[in-house]
């Protein structure tokens, strides 16, 4: 579901919105810096085609807002931001396009620290960084750590719902067999889960299903296929008023940013007895890894910090069960509390920027 911006509230929700255009390289991009209360806005660069400019701006701003909540709840010293590069077809010199984008990032004065997202690679981030800006993900793809955190979230949700240990025998449908979906499916299979794999790239789904002893589900049947856990690891807004009645799972928990089309979809899921783990809680493993790299933390500490997502999910679901709210409401309230407390402490006028070491 993509729609144009219509309300003032949405137009002004981001701290800063930058539209970028460089005719020489065919660049059209959007940078949305949602909130820098906790630090420079950290968020990936997505490259894909959009129906129109408004759809690109809409998606960019929503993803940036989710990054604010993600970084806050993961207790990281970053604000939220995101960028999208509108994919207008093949480009002659991709590195030059990325460097051009990097020059626009430079104009944010360090308030935006880009990383990898759908449609961009570590090589793209290295090219963006060549414009002299701090970037994340230029050396290492954080996807395996994102997958580890999503796995921890899924296990915690199943354990909390069923009052048991582990996920042995539970059926998990992974939608999207890409960087995160692949690692997630392998991790869960190793824990004894039964895997179903759906991808618009049928060969990719087939290869992953074979690797994890699972089965392929046609991409268009993913949402309606019975399973314990639906793990969206592909596109945004898969749960909407139009799709929620088709779902045949007990839990929705995955990596895909912006899984719900609207906040009301969390209530719709709850009304159907489906537990929803907010995407920005489950998929924080990647940003935790980015922060660990910047601080030079060792792998044991990083692993523990990523696995802490499981405890966070358990806490959210328990509070939601006790209060009768959705986990989304509880998570948003917690994030808002963290931001409000930080705003009290932060001197007026100081915009955090990336350090020379980058993020
Ligand atoms: P990716 O591009 O490596 O993989 C996406 C996969 O989904 C591809 O195999 C693609 O063919 C498939 N796909 C696309 N549309 C589909 C559809 N309608 N139905 C089924 N499959 C479809 O992306 P990646 O890195 O694995 O990310 C997946 C999601 O997780 C994205 O929404 C991303 O924003 C989110 N995410 C990723 C993080 C990371 O560390 N890579 C961190 C946090 C969120």
**Among 69, 82, 99, 250, which one carries the catalytic annotation?**
82
Nearest to 273 by CA among 239, 240, 244, 243: 244
pTM (predicted TM-score) = 0.92
CB 297: neighbour CB atoms within 10 A? Answer: 15
The DSSP 8-state label assigned to residue 239 in this structure reads B
Q: Kindly state the average pLDDT of the residues 333-356.
A: 79
Protein residue with least CA distance to atom 4, ligand 1: 178
- Residue 2 predicted with pLDDT over 60: no
For each of the domains in the chain, give its residue range(s) and CATH number, in order of start. 7-129 (3.40.50.10860), 143-325 (3.40.50.720)
Determine the pLDDT at residue 359. 43
- Measured from CB, residues less than 6 Å from any atom of ligand 1 are 117-118, 142-143, 146, 175-181, 198-201, 204, 219, 233-235, 255-257, 283, 286
SS3 133: coil
For residue range 8-20, what is the model confidence (pLDDT) as tens digits? 445 568 999 999 9
Query: What mean pLDDT value characterizes the chain?
Result: 93
CA–CA gap between residue 259 and residue 275 (Å, rounded): 13
Residue among 260, 193, 183 nearest 229 (CA): 193
For 335-345, how does the pLDDT look when each residue is reduced to its tens digit (9 = 90+)? 999 999 999 88
Q: Using 50, 70 and 90 to split pLDDT, how confident is the model at 353?
A: low
Q: What percent of the chain has pLDDT over 90?
A: 88
Q: Whose CA is nearest to atom 32 of ligand 1?
A: 256
Does position 292 have pLDDT exceeding 70, yes or no? yes
Mean pLDDT across the stretch 201-216?
Answer: 98
Is residue 52 helix, strand or coil? coil
In this prediction, residue 11 carries a pLDDT of 57
Q: Roughly how many angstroms between the first and final C-alpha of the chain, as a whole number? A: 32
Res. 138: pLDDT tops 90: no
For a ligand 1 pocket test, name from 255, 278, 302 the mutation site with the most ligand atoms within 8 angstroms of its C-beta: 255
- What's the pLDDT score for residue 346? 76
Give pLDDT, residue 354. Answer: 60
Residue of 346 and 279 predicted with greater confidence: 279
């Amino acid at each position: 579901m993509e729609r144009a911006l219509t309300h003032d509230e949405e137009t002004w929700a981001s701290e800063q919105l930058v539209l970028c255009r460089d005719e020489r390289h065919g660049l059209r991009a959007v940078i949305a810096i949602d909130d820098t209360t906790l630090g420079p806005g950290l968020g990936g660069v997505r490259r894909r085609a959009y129906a129109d400019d408004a759809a690109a701006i809409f998606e960019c701003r929503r993803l940036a807002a989710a990054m604010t909540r993600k970084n806050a709840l993961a207790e990281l010293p970053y604000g939220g931001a995101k960028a999208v590069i509108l994919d207008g077809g093949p480009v002659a010199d991709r590195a030059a396009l990325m460097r051009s984008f990097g020059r626009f990032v430079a104009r944010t004065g360090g308030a935006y620290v880009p990383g990898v997202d759908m449609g961009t690679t570590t090589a793209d981030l290295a090219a963006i960084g060549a414009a002299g800006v701090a970037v994340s993900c230029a050396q290492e793809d954080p996807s395996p750590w994102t997958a580890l955190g999503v796995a921890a979230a899924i296990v915690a949700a199943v354990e909390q719902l069923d009052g048991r240990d582990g996920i042995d025998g539970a059926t998990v449908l992974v939608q999207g067999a890409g960087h995160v979906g692949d690692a997630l499916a392998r991790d869960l299979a190793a824990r004894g889960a039964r895997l179903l794999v759906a991808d618009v790239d049928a060969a990719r789904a087939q290869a992953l299903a074979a690797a994890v002893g699972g089965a392929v589900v046609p991409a268009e049947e993913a949402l309606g296929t019975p399973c314990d856990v639906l793990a969206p690891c592909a596109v945004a807004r898969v749960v909407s008023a139009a799709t929620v009645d088709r779902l045949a799972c007990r839990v929705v928990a995955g990596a895909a940013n912006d899984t719900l089309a609207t906040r009301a979809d969390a209530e719709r899921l709850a009304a159907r007895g489906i537990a929803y783990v907010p995407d920005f809680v489950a998929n924080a493993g990647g940003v935790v890894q980015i922060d660990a790299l910047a601080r030079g933390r060792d792998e044991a500490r990083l692993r523990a910090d990523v696995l802490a997502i499981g405890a966070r999910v358990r806490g959210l679901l328990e509070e939601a069960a006790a209060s009768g709210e959705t986990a989304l409401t509880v998570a948003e309230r917690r994030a808002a509390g963290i931001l409000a407390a930080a705003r009290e402490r932060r001197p007026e006028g100081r915009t955090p920027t990336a350090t020379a070491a980058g993020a």
